[in-house]
Structure 1
Amino acid sequence: MALTAKLQEALNEQLKYEFESAYIYLAMATYLDSRDLEGATHWMRLQAREEITHAAKFHTYLSDRDANIVLQAIPAPPAKWDSIVATFAAALAHEQKMTERLNKLMDLAQSEKDHATVSLLQWFVDEQVEEEATIKTVIARLKLVGEDSSGLFMIDRDLSTRVIPPQIGAGTTFA
């Protein structure tokens, strides 16, 4: 069964949003790097990489469904935040917006009775739960230490240990 025009358009839009997310996280990494927060910079760079794998997953899916793939312009992201807490709060707000988009896309796939797309999107819906929970934990820890430089140093060090699980990148690269 071919994708409906409406679903194809929505999936192309989601492809754009995934690339836009990568841009946003790279901008956050750039800002955090300017603040000498190596761990937070590392965390955001990996988040950007993860978003690119998400885009690749949508790209591959559209290709597998013989859809017309349309790469759209990506707006420039913000470049500065007030603090590390504000940066992660913006990341959380972005992920919450992404969750809303994916839920609407899931609603559309269900209404179109496109079970293959529902299956694809279920992975993303589940992933969003983890994304939001992880960022909320980082924010809570940052708020806990406040302006204490020793606490911030420890959190930044912890953020530097982040790795992307192998299943995130499996089969979802452009190479």
Structure 2
Amino acid sequence: MISEKMETALNKQIALEGYASYLYLSMASWCDKEGLEGCAKFMHRQSEEERMHMLKIFYYLSEVDGHALTPAIAQPPHEFDSVKALFEEVYAHEQKVTASIHGLLKIGYEENDHTTLNFLQWYVEEQREEEALMRSILDKLKLIGDGPQSLYYIDMEVEKVNAMAAAAEGAEEA
């Protein structure tokens, strides 16, 4: 049985993950509009991944006799000043998600909820990876610059990230 406090906090995390999925979907649409095919594909994949994160918590709450709530999701922004501004927003959002996961861990420790602490360890590792990935993309953006001709190179670099992710997913399935 999960505590009411932890159930409420996990439901807030469901909403945060759902918002992230919609935010990245909105970003994918903007990238499509800007002709950034590699970036659009990356954001579509990120959107699906965030949806999976949301559902993982949703199912967990059911397993521990909690009540998962479907969240109302706020409209994310749909215009961005540049691809650099877009990835800066992604990085800031991932940092927000990390802080939220840490808040869940704090509740778990306070309540001696070892089951949820164990469940959340996957999210701790996932967030470390997400933040590192976004920092590496931002580092590449700084190197390439943000002039009009550099968008092609930025898109190619993000497409390389897509290819590496697809290869890793294929290796996991094998």
TM-score (norm 1): 0.89
Ranges in structure 1 where 5+ consecutive residues have no aligned partner: 171-175
Identity rate, percent: 36
Once residues 146 and 153 of structure 2 are traced to their aligned partners in structure 1, the CA distance between those partners, rounded to angstroms, is 12
Q: Cα offset for 1:60?
A: 1.2
Once residues 76 and 10 of structure 2 are traced to their aligned partners in structure 1, the CA distance between those partners, rounded to angstroms, is 21
1:55 matched residue in structure 2: 54
Name which structure has the greater RCO, CA cutoff 8 Å, separation 6+: 1
Once residues 105 and 44 of structure 1 are traced to their aligned partners in structure 2, the CA distance between those partners, rounded to angstroms, is 26
1:107 matched residue in structure 2: 106
2:34 matched residue in structure 1: 35
Q: Do the aligned residues in 1 keep the contact of 2:144 with 2:153 (CA within 8 Å)?
A: no
Once residues 43 and 100 of structure 2 are traced to their aligned partners in structure 1, the CA distance between those partners, rounded to angstroms, is 21
Q: Do the aligned residues in 2 keep the contact of 1:19 with 1:55 (CA within 8 Å)?
A: yes
Once residues 55 and 71 of structure 2 are traced to their aligned partners in structure 1, the CA distance between those partners, rounded to angstroms, is 14
Of residues 20-29 and 145-154 in structure 1, the stretch that sits farther from structure 2 once superposed is 145-154
1:144 matched residue in structure 2: 143
Q: Do the aligned residues in 1 keep the contact of 2:94 with 2:127 (CA within 8 Å)?
A: yes
Q: Tell me the SS of whatever aligns to 1:153.
A: helix
Residue 45 in 1 paired to residue 37 in 2?
A: no
Q: Do the aligned residues in 1 keep the contact of 2:18 with 2:71 (CA within 8 Å)?
A: no
Divergent runs of 4+, >2 A: 147-152, 163-167
> What letter matches 1:21 in structure 2?
A
Once residues 79 and 147 of structure 2 are traced to their aligned partners in structure 1, the CA distance between those partners, rounded to angstroms, is 22
1:173 matched residue in structure 2: none
Q: Do the aligned residues in 2 keep the contact of 1:29 with 1:40 (CA within 8 Å)?
A: yes
CA RMSD of aligned residues (A): 1.8
Ranges in structure 2 where 5+ consecutive residues have no aligned partner: none
Once residues 145 and 169 of structure 2 are traced to their aligned partners in structure 1, the CA distance between those partners, rounded to angstroms, is 33
TM-score (norm 2): 0.90
Once residues 59 and 147 of structure 1 are traced to their aligned partners in structure 2, the CA distance between those partners, rounded to angstroms, is 39
Once residues 16 and 33 of structure 2 are traced to their aligned partners in structure 1, the CA distance between those partners, rounded to angstroms, is 26
Q: Which has the higher helix share?
A: 2
Alignment of 1:7-156 (within 5 A): 7-149=6-148, 151-156=150-155
